[in-house]
Chains A and B, each alone.
Chain A
Amino acid sequence: MEDEKFDCIIVGGGVAGCAAAKVLADNNMKILLVEKGEWTGSKNVSGGVLYGPTPWEIFPELKNTLENPPFERFINRRRLSFMSDDSSFSIDYKSQKYDNVPYNGVSVLRSKFDRWLGEQVEESIAKSDFAEDSFVATEVMVEELIIKDGKVCGIRAGEDEFESDCVILAEGVNSLLTRSIGLQKEIVDAKYVATGIKEVWQYDQDLLEAKFQLDGLEGVSNEFVGCTKGIEGGGFLYTNKDSISLGLVLGIKDLRDSNETVYDLLDSFKDHTSIKPLLKGGKMVEYSAHVVPVGDIDMIPKQLYTDGAVVVGDAAGLVLNTGKSIEGMNLAMESGRQAALAIIEAKKKRDFSKASLKSYQDRLSESYVMKDLRNFQGAFHFIHNPDMFKKYPDLVNSIMNDVFLVDGQEKKKTRDIIKKAVDESDLSYWDLMKTSIQGGLSL
């Protein structure tokens, strides 16, 4: 295949790269999807819940898999828990309105899920005009982009060089190639990224379903704040088919400035009274970690395209943090789709210049990806108020403790409970008022 020039080379077999490759193959483009791991997804990690209809639109085959889906469970129950050292207060919502395809969210284990996506790309290739000339190539680590006359026109992996009209950079958050051509800053500041650290605990499936009150394919997602010793971030627990994904996401700048150690923070989270009993009867079967963009729009390159290349997904920093959920994979897939559509247009015009590929960014700007990112920057900054990671969760638990307390003493009215809790906290009424107004406006 060395002599053949591809319409498009996609670097990275994650959700963004597979989505782009699928759309391109479905539209009869001659493509090469390269993945450095053993299979698409084999080096990929996420929390993770994949939200919304985008995956179902790009991979309509998903709805035929419900007997044995490549995802884990659909999420029809959402919990948000505020933790103090010894207590936790949760908001818990479950609805049958979330029971239908396309699901509002599905839990995924990326090594399984992205592998399936890669297989779908191969099936689309087989049905295309380039069944013999398009490829999904694994164990190919792209070392550099080939640049001629200032235009990206291929990739080099070891001794092998592959040429193409354009390249989609779907290489993930550790975006060395994107940085090498100046689409992303050479050094991405620690304040824009967090470390996700995760354990997968496996159970007998009946035990898991009993523990988490699950029926059939339904699942629960639980996010936690207050479990990070004041460090920017939070915890997560997602139910998979016969396991849970449990972990923390920790802001790297805050971590650097603290004295905390990531695995000690994870241990202390697992030892919390609302987590520890859940692990009984389970077995830790996989330990993983990955950097994740925190959702600050300032991390996203102003320009997501150049001559012969576009950047998508985590490599572009496309993560949305609304305070209600963290969305990354759906944004990645949507950006992959929009990049593919822009490239299909570019092929018709036989123009892969910067001016032509700008249509990718225009498309993305008009899609929910950039609209949500712009609309929810206030929410992002609101929940990154440092008080959110310790003082507020402590305050909420201190109030709830007195609300439910029966101690043989004269009971206090709620108003007095709140006054006592605020007086005992480091927060002032002014802080509370400011926070409620900001929260009301931004969330």
Chain B
Amino acid sequence: MSMSVKDRLATNKTKLSKKPHITVETDICDTTCTHKCTTRVCPAKCFEIVNDKMAFQYEDCIECGTCLHACDQGAVSWKFPESGHGITFRLG
């Protein structure tokens, strides 16, 4: 029954923008942040620890807003993708 997040995301349609709509100051995550909660709360697994460092990618983002509200360290700058880009849900 268990599916990987990648497989789950594959059911969605996204028109990728070249510009990232979310930027993360990963220095904050790597130094002062003690919980690194975004690695657990982002439903699209956009935040991962790779070689002991926070790695963020916006490509899989489904624009839910969880990281905008979960990060209490001021590391996440959050916007929607530019006009005509990002996630499209067929069902929603």
Contact = CB atoms under 8 A, between A and B. Distances in A.
Contact of A261 (B40, B44, B64, B78): B40
Contacts of A157: 83
Contact of A290 (B40, B41, B64, B78): B64
B3 interface: yes
Nearest to A141: B83
Interface string B60-92: 001111101110100000111111101111111
Contacts of A270: 1
Contact of A140 (B1, B12, B83): B83
A243 B12 CA distance: 16
Given A262-B43, A284-B8, A111 B90 contact: yes
Contacts of A41: 92
B70 A190 contact: yes
A344 interface: no
Contact of A43 (B44, B69, B88): B88
A111 B87 CA distance: 12
Contacts of B90: 111, 286
A2 to B, nearest CB: 15
Contact of A263 (B1, B45, B87): B45
B91 A256 contact: no
Which has the most chain A C-beta neighbours within 10 Å: B1, B5, B91? B91
B35 interface: yes
A109 interface: yes
B2 interface: yes
Contacts of A46: 92
Interface string A200-237: 10000000000000000000000000000000000000
Contacts of A189: 69
A36 to B, nearest CB: 6
Interface in A119-139: 139
A279 interface: yes
Contacts of B40: 255, 258-262
A36 B89 contact: no
B43 A43 contact: no
26 contacts: A36-B86, A43-B86, A43-B87, A44-B89, A110-B89, A111-B91, A140-B83, A141-B82, A157-B83, A158-B82, A174-B80, A193-B69, A195-B66, A195-B70, A199-B8, A200-B91, A255-B41, A260-B40, A261-B41, A276-B1, A279-B1, A286-B11, A286-B90, A288-B92, A290-B65, A291-B64
Q: State the 4 A-B residue pairs at the shortest beta-carbon distance, nearest first.
A: A111-B92, A110-B92, A289-B43, A287-B8
Interface of A: 36-38, 41-46, 109-114, 139-141, 157-158, 173-174, 176, 188-190, 193, 195, 197, 199-200, 243, 252, 255-263, 267, 270-271, 276, 279, 284-291
